[in-house]
Amino acid sequence: MSAWLIGLEGTAAGHQLALVLALVAAFLHAVFGALQKGRHDPWISRAAIDASYGLLAAPFALFVVPWPEPHMWPIFAGAFFIHAGYKLAQAMTYQRGAYTVVYPVVRGTGPLFAVLGAGLIFGEHFNAGQWAGLAMLLSGIFGLAIYNLRNVTLARDTLGPALGLAVLTGAFVALYTTYDAYGIRATADPFTFLAWFFFIDGWFMPALTFRRWRGLAAAEVLPLAKRGVLGAFVAFFSFGAIMLATRLDKVGEAAVLRETSTVFAALIGWVILGERTGPRRVTLMALIAAGAVVVEMAG
């Protein structure tokens, strides 16, 4: 499978596959965010997910995929620290703010920084039509955040810090998107990067939250473990899809398409979390989707 994927790099078929992978990643990333924002402490929820994907990735990293080349170890170290910062910022954001307010801010900040980073690192540049599409998408995302902010009733006293942390989290999203795109392109086999990334990345949050686990009620252990395993599989396919998309095609375009996750997140908030929706929110979600289409078509 690795040889087949590598053979698609830079081709029209690779571009189409990257498009599909980015949209799959968008949907799954919204699911992942909802899992972390569920009934449990977001710190413990993230730790359960990370521990699960670290354990599941271990046999693949150690016994299935080719071992990383020597130059990959410093790259993995950098990815570890970048993702650690992202997780800390994300957990603090979800702890303080309503999901439908902070999630759009995170996802709206990320693609702008990612497009700029892709231009600096990979020499990718949007044309005028793509910038217009990005402006549409960002207008819809931040408009959705503002609308939700005006109507949310939960945790209003902590929304200010939550929004600041959401912007910081978005910056980390852009940083890891561009850095990990560099990492997955630096190894011969893309699945080597993915397997070792999950294996290495899976241990930070469980170690950090060890004391929180000691206070967890016994009745909550099994539900949290189930959430962790489900989240691990969502993470595999979500992160794996976007990373493969960045190897097959342009990093900036993949990053923008992934931010249609905001539409999926709003639908999840409405259908599953019981958060209200309405014609204004539907219009803003349509603007997000339209912006993503313009970015793709103009490219």
pLDDT tens digits, one per residue of 20-47: 888 888 888 778 766 766 566 778 888 8
Radius of gyration of the chain (CA): 19
Mean pLDDT within 228-257: 87
Q: Phi and psi dihedrals of 13, rounded to 5?
A: -65, -40
Quote the pLDDT of residue 4.
85
What pLDDT does residue 152 have? Answer: 63
DSSP for 192-225, written as a single string = HHHHHHHHHHTTHHHHHTHHHHHTS-HHHHHHHH
Mean pLDDT of 148-161: 68
Closest CA to 297 of 34, 15, 54: 15
**Average pLDDT taken over every residue of the chain:** 83
Q: How far apart are CA 258 and CA 30, in angstroms?
A: 10
Lowest-pLDDT choice from 77-86, 139-148, 162-171, 260-269: 260-269
For the entire predicted model, the pTM comes to 0.82
* Domain extent listing, the chain: 2-298
pLDDT tens by residue, 177-218 = 889 999 999 999 999 999 999 999 999 999 998 888 777 777
Q: Where are the alpha helices (DSSP H) in 123-158?
A: 128-151
| CA distance linking residue 1 with residue 64, whole number of Å | 13
Amino acid at 57: A
CA atoms within 13 A on the CB side of 230: 15
The mean pLDDT of 76-92, rounded to a whole number, is 92
